[in-house]
Structure 1
Amino acid sequence: MLLKSALPKIRWKYWVKPWQQVDWLLFCLPIAVSIFGGVMILSTELKQPVTDWWWHWLVAGIGTAIALLLARLRYENLLQWHWVTYGLTNFSLIAVMVVGTAAKGAQRWISIAGFNVQPSEFAKVGIIITLAALLHKRTASSIESFFRALAITAVPWGLVFLQPDLATSLVFGAIVIGMLYWANANPGWIILLISPIVAAILFGISWPLPEPITFKEISFLKEISLSPLGLFWAGAMGIVGWQTLPWRKFGLGAIGAWILNMLGGELGVFAWNHVLHDYQKNRLSVFMNPEHDPLGAGYHLIQSRIAIGAGEIWGWGLFKGPMTQLNFVPEQHTDFIFSAVGEEFGFIGCLVVLFVFCLICFRLLHVAQTAKDNFGSLLAMGVLSMIVFQLIVNIGMTVGLAPVAGIPLPWMSYGRSAMLTNFIALGIVESVANFRQRQKYY
């Protein structure tokens, strides 16, 4: 009798043993978010003959199965395949430029069996694996390792930027910065890495300061614009370079940092005039004043803010939000799904969603802190950087605190490639958690 009663318990342990160290809270929360996301997508398309909500759930189910499979495979095996992963990542990004499908002013998708696949989404996981493999033995504490990591990242980043996909290239930047910081890079180097972007913004700002100095009379200098804010920033970064870079002799670190920011500022002006597409310029410019073009580029932001504000504290209720049901918010089932939450569930519903995402991020951080080696820790940190950046930018743009960047809300926005990417990343992190020092089960 004792033997028979023990058999079910033994069989149960046998089946769950491959996943006994998995962080189940981290695994279940994204699934719950995906289910809730499908409900919100259904709400945005309730009066339309589309089935995006059903596809959302189907892809989430496939992603869940992939994550479970990855969780029981040893993540260390990725080390010996990281150059293959890097090569496939770059190959896919080149392929989309050759045989890809163009839409909305960009060529980002490859049509496979009638489905559009976005390689730049999967490239996020590819660069996480590559950087983790590079930094797990030689950390970013030396300037050589720091620049080596940047050089490796520059190739896929450049290919994504040329599609053009500015939003995903920004996600790449967030991943690299998060992983370099976790790999013991000097914080001053990270500040200097970001500084040219800040310089590019500041060199384009003239209000409320006097107009930037321009050289329209001299043909080869007509692109130069010297902003007081930009000059001050470049000087401050020169001090940071002098304090943190190893080339302190003759002030080379300070001079290099100053030149880097001056070039970054001027390249920003050049990119604005000659590189960025009109829709990208509109997204950035209407962020400061969406009412300037209320029926054009600013329409998304204005309608999203109205929808969220209309929800007040408790919201109108599921399937009852007038802005959502009457389709006043464009692209609401994708990038602006959070506005549907705000209208139909109000401020409280938004807080609950944010709380769930915070739990996911804390569990990712816990896995990064408790991983048994640097490789696993860096994998978890790369995924955390990716999720946090997308979360901040997506919610920021729906409430008017960030430009419209075309970045989806993880596990909630409709997007098949993005959904699979997030679940693949989740499965890799769960593998890191699953193969920590095992507990003894009796």
Structure 2
Amino acid sequence: MDRRLWKNVDFVLLAVVYAIIIYGLVIISSATHITQGGGNNPYLYVERQAIWAIISTVALLVMMTIHYEDLLRMSKYLYGLNLLLLLLVEIAGKVGGGAQSWLGFGSVAVQPSEFAKIFIIITLSNLLARKQGQLNSFRDLLPVAIHVGIPMLLILAQPDLGTALVFIAITLGMLYAAGTRPLLLVIIIITGLTLAIGGVWAHLQGYIHLPLKDYQLKRLIIFINPDLDPVGAGYHVRQSQIAIGSGGLWGKGLYQGTQNQLNFLPEQHTDFIFSVVGEELGFVGAAGLLILLFLLVFRGLRIAAQARDIYGVTMAAGVVSMYLFHILENVGMTISIMPITGIPLPFFSYGGSNLLANMLGIGILQSIYMRRQKILF
């Protein structure tokens, strides 16, 4: 790659990403040094996350050197690889967190559904670019639905409802960026919500059977009223609200949160890590994190707006849509305005596969931004 391209790197975006990662390591330390520490090493999870951060940095640099248009030329192969990995999960996957979502490689386990999001962003961008100006009806969107629907059904079969919802968010964001009529997207969203709510109601009434676990259905409805099952499905939300509410303005102090340190908070280093921030660092700490996440999304949107072609616009929109949905869903479920779906907070929650996939997304954004114009001397 031409060295002059490095002058076009969005260093602000990189600074924001690494600030979030470092912040996350501090909170993971607090969340795991007592309740989740492995053996004699209370900082085992911090060390693992730091190692994944180094691996992800290498992947980021590699992705930045690849012209995003070269990724599009490999679209068919990437789509096939995506389906192959998801099928392998169905055949030989390991169960974790209630879902058969993992592939084991010795002592290391990876989650292909995380990388499926990156694959679908690249391959869908190629499809949308070829159909630019031809996305004006439901019939026009049928190829898109099939393209996204096949891997999404494989993910639902694991079952991983959260990642399947991320697929929907990515698709809608990319369709909008590709010039699809906004009214058509609004109709799709309203129709989808209506069918989802109606389907859950019909399942509960015994009229149909949805291919979802009982705990997943409870998560979809319990956020409306956690008191329906305060010691069961509603327990997580109640404890999260208690933690965040008790933090006040400045919080109880790092390593001092009672809900966190006494293990009342569930999955406090992954799904409910924002609750740890709210309890121990209060409104100030939570607001600081949200500002960093806002800057992440803002810089991504800026890159999408400055992309030089439809490929760059749609790919950047897909990456930003992925981050935005993760943020809204993760933060929202901790304060009971969104259902619990087990979606981590980007660059912040513990998890190697998620961190690696998110860094690949940053690599795509940087590749688009670095090549937004002719090389500057």
TM score, norm. by length of structure 1 = 0.79
In 2, the alpha carbon distance for the partners of 1:271 and 1:288 equals 22
Cα deviation 1:118-145 (Å, max 9, x = unaligned): 1111000000001111112322534354
Distance 1:16 1:24, change over 3 A: farther
In 2, the alpha carbon distance for the partners of 1:15 and 1:329 equals 49
Distance 1:114 1:132, change over 3 A: same
Q: Does 1:124 align with 2:117?
A: yes
In 1, the alpha carbon distance for the partners of 2:140 and 2:359 equals 30
Which residue of structure 2 lines up, in the alignment, with residue 396 of structure 1? 332
Among 35, 59, 62, the residue aligned to 1:69:
62
Cα deviation 1:61-97 (Å, max 9, x = unaligned): 2111211221122111012100100000011111100
In 1, the alpha carbon distance for the partners of 2:148 and 2:272 equals 29
Which residue of structure 1 lines up, in the alignment, with residue 184 of structure 2? 189
Which residue of structure 2 lines up, in the alignment, with residue 286 of structure 1? 222
Among 274, 280, 303, the residue aligned to 2:239:
303
Distance 1:271 1:70, change over 3 A: farther
Distance 1:79 1:270, change over 3 A: farther
Alignment of 1:70-149 (within 5 A): 70-139=63-132, 140-143=134-137, 144-149=139-144
Q: Which amino acid aligns with 2:18?
A: I
Which residue of structure 2 lines up, in the alignment, with residue 40 of structure 1? 27
CA positional deviation for 1:46 = 2.0
Q: Quote the RMSD (CA, aligned, Å).
A: 2.1
| Structure whose CA Rg is larger | 1
In 2, the alpha carbon distance for the partners of 1:355 and 1:109 equals 32
The answer to whether the 8 Å contact 1:19/1:71 transfers is no
The answer to whether the 8 Å contact 1:320/1:344 transfers is yes
Distance 1:387 1:271, change over 3 A: farther
In 2, the alpha carbon distance for the partners of 1:292 and 1:17 equals 60
Distance 1:72 1:311, change over 3 A: same
In 2, the alpha carbon distance for the partners of 1:145 and 1:170 equals 22
TM score, norm. by length of structure 2 = 0.93
The answer to whether the 8 Å contact 2:60/2:363 transfers is yes
Among 303, 311, 318, the residue aligned to 1:382:
318
The answer to whether the 8 Å contact 2:4/2:376 transfers is no
Query: Could you say which structure has the greater relative contact order, defined with CA pairs below 8 angstroms and 6 or more residues apart?
Result: 2
Distance 1:24 1:170, change over 3 A: same
Q: Which amino acid aligns with 1:135?
A: L
What SS does the aligned partner of 1:203 have?
helix
Which residue of structure 2 lines up, in the alignment, with residue 169 of structure 1? 164
Cα deviation 1:263-308 (Å, max 9, x = unaligned): xxx6897797442211112212221121222221111101111000
What SS does the aligned partner of 1:102 have?
strand
In 2, the alpha carbon distance for the partners of 1:268 and 1:70 equals 46
In 2, the alpha carbon distance for the partners of 1:350 and 1:272 equals 42
Q: Which amino acid aligns with 1:124?
A: K
Q: Does 1:20 align with 2:15?
A: no
What SS does the aligned partner of 2:268 have?
coil
Distance 1:332 1:203, change over 3 A: same
Q: Which amino acid aligns with 1:183?
A: A
Higher alpha-carbon deviation: 296-305 or 195-204? 195-204
Q: Which amino acid aligns with 1:111?
A: G
Which residue of structure 1 lines up, in the alignment, with residue 17 of structure 2? 30
Cα deviation 1:403-432 (Å, max 9, x = unaligned): 111100001111111110000111011000
Cα deviation 1:147-183 (Å, max 9, x = unaligned): 2212211111111111111110000000000000111
Alignment of 1:248-263 (within 5 A): none
CA positional deviation for 1:105 = 3.3
Distance 1:272 1:332, change over 3 A: farther
* Identity over aligned pairs, percent: 40
In 1, the alpha carbon distance for the partners of 2:67 and 2:110 equals 27
Among 244, 254, 268, the residue aligned to 1:318:
254
The answer to whether the 8 Å contact 1:67/1:424 transfers is yes
Which residue of structure 2 lines up, in the alignment, with residue 419 of structure 1? 355
Q: Which amino acid aligns with 1:420?
A: L
What SS does the aligned partner of 2:102 have?
strand
In 2, the alpha carbon distance for the partners of 1:313 and 1:361 equals 25
Cα deviation 1:364-393 (Å, max 9, x = unaligned): 011001111110111110000000001000
CA positional deviation for 1:185 = 0.7
List alignment gaps of at least 5 residues for structure 2: 39-43
In 2, the alpha carbon distance for the partners of 1:286 and 1:202 equals 13
CA positional deviation for 1:201 = 4.7
Distance 1:439 1:400, change over 3 A: same
CA positional deviation for 1:15 = 9.8
Distance 1:279 1:351, change over 3 A: same
Which residue of structure 2 lines up, in the alignment, with residue 11 of structure 1? none
In 2, the alpha carbon distance for the partners of 1:272 and 1:194 equals 22
